[in-house]
Structure 1
Amino acid sequence: MDDYINDQVIEEKQKRAMRRVKTETNRSVFISSGPEDSGRTLYRMVAVSFGMLCVLQVTLNISLRLVFNRRFKYSEERDQLQTSYNNLTEERDQLRTSYNNLTKERDRLQTERDFLSGRLTIHIEQTCPERWQKFESSFYFLSTETKTWNESREDCLERGADLVIINSDEEQTFLFNLKKRVFIGLTDSVNEGTWKWVDGTPLTKGYWYDPQPDNGGGYAEHGEEHCAEINKVHHHLEAWNDLSCDKKINFICEKVI
């Protein structure tokens, strides 16, 4: 666009110069009045024409210099853009290579993980103790005899485990589906109303059956209720009840793999 405008400017200046030459020539002819002035008139016409040609030459030189400078500037910008493009292309290729390498490494690690996971599953199945059930990353033992909460915990400890600690909805559902009324590893015997698991961590999410826990509901015959159970008569997610620790029921031990 700029080159087109410059060409128009040059062409316009040339036309103006030619008009001036014609005007001066006509003026010189008009002033001449006789044969004695013909030589002087011709000289004047040549001088004017030469002067106008010099003006045209200067104008042309300036115009060409402007065009050259502008084209040089465009060429320089084009080279800079080409360099930037080349750098970006090289960086893109490096990133693509890194991505491909990381993808291969990910696939290799995933294959290795699947292989080790399969071996671990086979090992667990082969070493799973009798009467224990596996769920996710733990083994669970469901007792066939009833004991108090303290006796239940002692039994679990002797088996290298402890009363179960429930960490998720899925685990709660799994235990409820065993269809037994069982003690779990939760008590507020140290501080009334402050329920803690057997590993000392505080209860953050409970599955109490409403309106439990009620510590016996004020009925003397129920006594103090400081231990938690899963009661199979309730809904699987809201099935906890507080119970006297001296009550004898079944229990569940958990051994984390």
Structure 2
Amino acid sequence: MEMVYHEEDCVYENIPDVPDPARRVESKICSDEERKVTAAEPGIKRSRLAAVVLGLLCVIQAAVIIFLLLSLFSERDEFKRTNFDVEAGFKNLTQERDDLKRKLNSFLTQGRWEYFSGSFYHISSIEKTWKESRDDCILKGANLVIINSKEEQDFLRKFQKLMWIGLTDSETEGTWKWVDGTPLNESYWDSGEPNGGEKENCVKIKKFDSEKSWNDLRCTAPLYSICEMKVRP
């Protein structure tokens, strides 16, 4: 008996060992089909590999597109935030400009205000104590003058009035401070001043023909005063 194997389309079975031309033909055909399948396997593998590579490329392409879209949206949001900040800054500048215009108009209508180097100055028409003078300046939205430069000192001397300025050592004797709390750095004391000790804790401009014109005095003395309103730093 002869054992015949038929793979895939062929069936394996035991058949009598009898010469049979038909069986030999069938066996030959099956053998040819096996060879065709074997020969086709590399092509099938290449096709599958190509399909896998193509799928990976599609996934990578999709990931790149998503990344680019997210970057684009992020840049758009950043641009919106920047644009919003610019608009807010412009709005603030516009408001500051309008506030300055209102202050200028108010000063001009009230009279007795004079502009110099970023500030408006107001000379009082009534003599008062140092504290009363300062309170009056605060009611006007200003404060007793703070002198920051030689040019400002020279500007104030031209009014030719004995006037309180915003300098005192009332908190600590000998430690002179301006009304905004800053320490005295550049001074214009008259010769021999200050000399009042604990009794004289406030400062006035006492003469006009010299740059060195400050004098300490009792804070309760009645004097004219000068207020300063800064309109820019």
So what's the TM-score if we normalise by structure 2? 0.51
Is the counterpart of residue 233 in structure 1 residue 192 in structure 2?
no
Residue by residue over 1:195-225, the C-alpha shift from the partner in whole angstroms, topping out at 9 and shown as x without a partner, is 4444xx643x542349x8xx958xxxx3326
Pair 1:68–1:163, CA change in 2 (3 A):
same
Contact 1:164–1:184 (CA<8 Å) still a contact in 2? yes
Contact 1:186–1:195 (CA<8 Å) still a contact in 2? yes
Query: Aligned equivalents of 2:66 and 2:168: distance in 1?
Result: 66
3-state DSSP class of the match of 2:165? strand
Contact 1:152–1:163 (CA<8 Å) still a contact in 2? no
Cα RMSD between the aligned structures?
5.0
Pair 1:61–1:242, CA change in 2 (3 A):
farther
Pick from 42, 47, 58 the counterpart of residue 79 of structure 1. 58
The letter for the 1-side match of 2:196 is G
3-state DSSP class of the match of 2:105? helix
Residue by residue over 1:229-250, the C-alpha shift from the partner in whole angstroms, topping out at 9 and shown as x without a partner, is 689726xxxxxx9742249887
Query: Aligned equivalents of 1:76 and 1:136: distance in 2?
Result: 74
Pair 1:190–1:182, CA change in 2 (3 A):
same
Query: Aligned equivalents of 2:214 and 2:173: distance in 1?
Result: 12
Q: Shift of residue 140 of structure 1?
A: 2.5
Query: Aligned equivalents of 1:86 and 1:254: distance in 2?
Result: 63
Residue by residue over 1:135-188, the C-alpha shift from the partner in whole angstroms, topping out at 9 and shown as x without a partner, is 68864224589x7xx72442342352542356xx6xx46633514286432322
Percent identity among equivalent residues? Answer: 19
Pick from 175, 196, 199 the counterpart of residue 223 of structure 1. 196
How many corresponding residue pairs? 183
So what's the TM-score if we normalise by structure 1? 0.47
Contact 2:165–2:225 (CA<8 Å) still a contact in 1? yes
Query: Aligned equivalents of 2:176 and 2:214: distance in 1?
Result: 10
Unaligned runs of 5+ in 2: 1-30
Pick from 161, 172, 177 the counterpart of residue 191 of structure 1. 172
Pair 1:73–1:229, CA change in 2 (3 A):
farther
Determine the structure 1 residue equivalent to 2:3. Answer: none
Determine the structure 1 residue equivalent to 2:102. Answer: 123
Unaligned runs of 5+ in 1: 1-49, 235-240
3-state DSSP class of the match of 1:190? coil
- Comparing both structures, which one devotes a greater share of its residues to helix? 1
Q: Shift of residue 193 of structure 1?
A: 3.7
Query: Aligned equivalents of 1:156 and 1:121: distance in 2?
Result: 22
The letter for the 1-side match of 2:155 is L
Pair 1:106–1:86, CA change in 2 (3 A):
same
What are the equivalent positions in structure 2 for 1:1-257 lying under 5 Å apart? 57=38, 61=41, 65=45, 71=50, 74-102=53-81, 104-106=83-85, 108-109=87-88, 112-113=91-92, 115-128=94-107, 129-134=110-115, 139-142=120-123, 151-158=129-136, 160-161=139-140, 162-165=143-146, 172=149, 175-180=152-157, 183-198=164-179, 202-203=181-182, 205-209=183-187, 216=193, 222-224=195-197, 226-228=201-203, 233=211, 243-246=215-218, 251-255=225-229
The letter for the 2-side match of 1:191 is T
Contact 1:187–1:196 (CA<8 Å) still a contact in 2? yes
